[in-house]
Structure 1
Amino acid sequence: MPAAAVQPEPRDPAALDRIFDDSMMRFGLPGMAMGVIEDGEVVHVRTGGETAAGSDDPVTSATLFKIASNSKAMTAAVLARLVDAGKLRWDDPVTRHLPRFRMYEDWVTREMQVRDLLIHNSGLPEGAGDLMLWPEPNDFGRADIIAGLAHLRPERSFRSGYAYDNLLYVVAGEVAAAAGGASYESLVRREVFDPLGLSGCRVGEWTRTGAGSVAQPHMRTEQGNAVIRADGEVVPAITSAAAGGIRCSLDDMLLWAHNWLQPTAEQLQWLSQEQRTAMWTAHTLLPVSARSREWDGTHIRAYGYGWRLADVHGEWTISHTGTLAGMYSVLMLLPDRRSGFVVMINGDGSDARSVITSALLDYFVRPEADTRVDALADRLERERDGAGRSRMPDTSGRTPAHALDMAAYLGIYRDPWFGEVSLCDADGGVRFASARSPRLSGRVMQVHGRALVDWDDDTIDPEAWMDLHGATPVSPPRMTMAKVDPDGDFSSDYEDLAFERVGGCGG
């Protein structure tokens, strides 16, 4: 749609404050930052709540939030800058820059191009291998990610469809490092943060004292919002940075958005129009959910380089979301209006983000609808409570597994990409413990004739079924796993694990 065809509609500026206040109240959020751009100008900035519940430390526009997968567009921008500089091409084979790179099938290894790392068309299952990234901290480095990919079985043919992926963004970061002659973290600072003035953004190792205000993730408990996985004074570098490890403030994200909506002459020198177009070109089609059709009038969705593209009530949008435990974000751009918004939440904000996004989109494209947060939230609850919505089984009758009953299966098991886990006697019971991801440890329970792992860390969700398969004369016992809640977070990719017993508990 030509920009000239978009006519301004009367809007009530008070609606923005109402959306913010009603969302904080309805969803009981610990803290939130929201900024709105209209016709190239920041017209609204609101922050509220605390960086950590009970701290009396207010969220401000300079508070750092985990932007999670909104990091992907910054990773793609680093690669686009390197393309502009002639240091790589989008159609370069990945092995040209990373000779050790391997996929499960040799022909995919040969054909995988740099562009394929960014557009979720690899053929891997959704979230495949994400257990090497999360939960943090763990012992998997980027070399482990590259080595592990060779053992992850595809669920469909290469380039035949969409399935969201994080590991290949880590690989993309390493391609950038190889082509750019510096670490991924150094490149992001050099190619994105510094030239665009994103002075608050952080990647790699940094200190909280030097960063100032830093929002902490929360989970909702019976007593209210509680901080989880709090940062120490030194925030370490993380393996997942290129897929979702950058932190920025609202001020930074509004500058980042402005660069795309109404770039200055200097910003157009920062990244050519050719590469801007490439990043916003539809490379992989995405499914359109019933909610997108019904709430947003969406007909088509696609993925560009680090961005999602979709029509919403007849207007084109460019966006991405970010999701980590206790942190949610959304960046939504309406390029034909030179408008958009940023929302960042440091709590259990999945529903809040959905509702706020829909309300703010209506503010721009359907102001006559006078959309209210409570009405959208009620609608969301009705959809969730509808018949057949939940497939979560009842596991309330669980009892601890006994070591004697499982004696034939106890031992050390190994998966080719996840490494070793122990399944061993613990005071008559049985414990599961990962050697390389120590937070994935817990008691083995029995329920409905099936074993599950009850994680020690209550913030890890979902739990995992654990299925043991008997030994044969030519093979040792095997173990497979699956999400107890089949609709749980896809990054808990237990289904991709295939363990074989390699030793006993004593050794």
Structure 2
Amino acid sequence: MARGMKMLWLLLLGWLLSPAAMAADAAFDAAFDDVMARYALPGLAVGVVENGEVVYTRTAGELVAGEGRKVDAQTLFKIASNTKAMTTATLARLVDAGKLRWDDPVTKYLPQFRMHDPWVTANMQVRDLLIHNSGLRAGAGDLMLWPEPNTFTRADIIHGLGYLQPQHSFRSRYDYDNLLYIVAGEVAAAAGGAPYETLVRREVFAPLGMERCRVGEWHVDEVGNVAQPHMHRDGRNVPVRSDGDVIHATTMEAAGGIRCSLDDMLTWVRAWLAPQGSAKAWLSPAQRQTVWTPQMTMPVSQRMREWDGSHFSAYGYGWRLADVDGDFKVSHTGTLMGMYSAVTMLPERGVGFVILINGEGDEARTVLTEVLVKHYTRRDPSLTVAHYAGLIAAEEGARPVAEKAPDTSDRRQATASELRARLGIYRDPWFGEVSLCRDGDAVRLRATKSSLLDGIVQRVGDRWLVDWDDPSVDAEAWLQFADRSDVPALRLGKVDPQADFSYDYEDLAFARVRECP
């Protein structure tokens, strides 16, 4: 062994055996154990990077609850919206190569692109696709992406955007968006001369050595070790929307379709935390800085002020940027049914964290991220998983009644005779057709292009809601009937006002086009 390498190894070994390192491991283990037990997670993978080195990894649980196959650092998880930073990195590589400019109009690459307002169409730049400033409602049009599977295409997304009405002025405020990341992926494909999936493999996975990351179509048996999503049902973790033998390319790849292992994600974090010069071959210093530059201001929540002492919050290109206890923080989360991820970095400290969960892990992700961050910014042993879980419970207890789901337990199945005048086939210009038709003595609502949006209509007092057959579709919808002149109309709304914004029922406006068959 060369003398220099031997000295480096001895220094690293010395640090790993130091009291500080052992104390850190103990703190991380305690948080890991508490989160795993408190939230009864089916599987969890956590890693920490310090100064370019992975100093902590831990995994627990199973790929599928009850089947015995263990989660490890090579297990593939859906990283969901942490995909967005990989999409923007792909675009940044194209900018470095001179194939694209951030301020290019979108129509330069996609002439068919249309927003509801022609002025916005003409002035929408590539950068605007990435920073959630479109003026659309949060999650607008997401029903073309989720729940999966569905039959919407990327061409459907681009076409449908023209029918989504803005809620605010273009570039006036932040509202989280997924559809425009699909457009961004198609812009990358047009500029890069290859499909989005090919570009991500070429521009991100290959140069960084993220060997197990997958996007597009692949075979489960050939890759192996793939975590499945779960939801809590009757006090246990139950797999939902499990993979078949072949993972097919989906419409939403550029917004949330990539899967990676813990080891891959730690490689990703190390690349971003590396000194500028060492990453020059992958991404130029100018583009690294651009991606992490605030582009669109975001609200600073009460929780951010109280927990982190935050003064600013903004969106860069695929990353959320904020200050926490005086430190600059770069982060993003990813959420899909039964899968949660988080990537958090404190660049000035050379520190980063990865969290991957294959169950209902929203609160678990929040509290574990906070404990990991506070280990470096506050060093206060009282800031534990239990502490933050208690704060969240207090928030929930103080939530106004108007923000809570109403009691719909006093429901009964609606009859076809009650809804006789409303039965028929309805059409929305971006979502397509739904049928509201007799199913025996009941009435069923079924979406033509989204197979999981299929359920029986219930009556609650003088209101109607649809109870979806598949329990993984966890946001029931109110049905609201009206007449537009002589054409019966149908609108939908969330029963639970806190339901995920991707159930964007409010953006639907159906008109009846024909009778039931």
TM class by shorter chain equals over 0.9
Q: In 2, distance between residues paired with 1:71 and 1:345?
A: 15
Structure 2 counterpart of 1:381: 393
Letter in 2 for 1:464: A
Q: Does the 8 Å CA contact 2:437/2:516 hold for their aligned counterparts?
A: yes
Letter in 2 for 1:391: K
Q: In 1, distance between residues paired with 2:177 and 2:461?
A: 33
- Does the alignment pair 1:458 with 2:471? yes
Q: Deviations over 1:158-188 (max 9, x none)?
A: 0000000000000000000000000000000
- Does the alignment pair 1:162 with 2:174? yes
User: Structure 1 residues 158 and 65 mapped into 2: Cα distance closer, same or farther (>3 Å)?
Assistant: same
What is the number of residues matched between the two proteins?
497
What are the residue-to-residue correspondences of 1:145-160 with 2, within 5 Å? Answer: 145-160=157-172
Structure 1 counterpart of 2:370: 358
- Counterpart selection for 1:240 from 249, 252, 262: 252
Q: Does the 8 Å CA contact 2:46/2:57 hold for their aligned counterparts?
A: yes
* 3-state SS of paired residue (1:255): helix
What are the residue-to-residue correspondences of 1:11-410 with 2, within 5 Å? Answer: 12-263=24-275, 265=277, 267-388=279-400, 390-410=403-423
Letter in 2 for 1:108: V
Structure 2, unaligned stretches of length 5 or more? 1-19
Q: Deviations over 1:261-300 (max 9, x none)?
A: 0157563111100100110000000011111111111111
Q: Deviations over 1:21-61 (max 9, x none)?
A: 11101111111000001122110000011111011111000
TM-score where L is the length of structure 2:
0.94
Q: In 1, distance between residues paired with 2:336 and 2:195?
A: 24
Q: Does the 8 Å CA contact 2:276/2:285 hold for their aligned counterparts?
A: no
User: Structure 1 residues 209 and 378 mapped into 2: Cα distance closer, same or farther (>3 Å)?
Assistant: same
What are the residue-to-residue correspondences of 1:461-476 with 2, within 5 Å? Answer: 461-470=474-483, 472=485, 475-476=486-487
Q: In 1, distance between residues paired with 2:213 and 2:275?
A: 19
TM-score where L is the length of structure 1:
0.96
Structure 2 counterpart of 1:493: 504
Q: In 2, distance between residues paired with 1:428 and 1:22?
A: 49
Shift of 1:471: 5.2
Q: Deviations over 1:123-177 (max 9, x none)?
A: 0000000000000110100000000000000000000000000000000000000
Q: In 2, distance between residues paired with 1:265 and 1:90?
A: 23
- Counterpart selection for 1:438 from 439, 443, 451: 451
Shift of 1:391: 2.0
Structure 1, unaligned stretches of length 5 or more? 1-7
Q: In 2, distance between residues paired with 1:325 and 1:73?
A: 20
Q: Deviations over 1:363-391 (max 9, x none)?
A: 11111344221222122112212252642
* 3-state SS of paired residue (1:294): helix
Name the % identity: 58
Shift of 1:426: 1.2
Q: In 1, distance between residues paired with 2:275 and 2:160?
A: 40
Instruction: Output the aligned Cα RMSD.
Output: 1.4
Q: In 2, distance between residues paired with 1:327 and 1:311?
A: 27
Q: In 2, distance between residues paired with 1:253 and 1:485?
A: 34
Letter in 1 for 2:83: S
Shift of 1:13: 3.1
Q: Deviations over 1:400-419 (max 9, x none)?
A: 11111211111100000000
- Counterpart selection for 1:478 from 478, 482, 489: 489
Shift of 1:12: 3.7
Shift of 1:456: 0.5
Shift of 1:461: 1.5
Q: Deviations over 1:188-214 (max 9, x none)?
A: 001100011000100001111222211
Letter in 2 for 1:410: L
Q: In 1, distance between residues paired with 2:275 and 2:35?
A: 31
Q: Does the 8 Å CA contact 1:442/1:455 hold for their aligned counterparts?
A: yes
Q: In 2, distance between residues paired with 1:146 and 1:168?
A: 9
- Counterpart selection for 1:504 from 481, 496, 515: 515
* 3-state SS of paired residue (1:488): coil
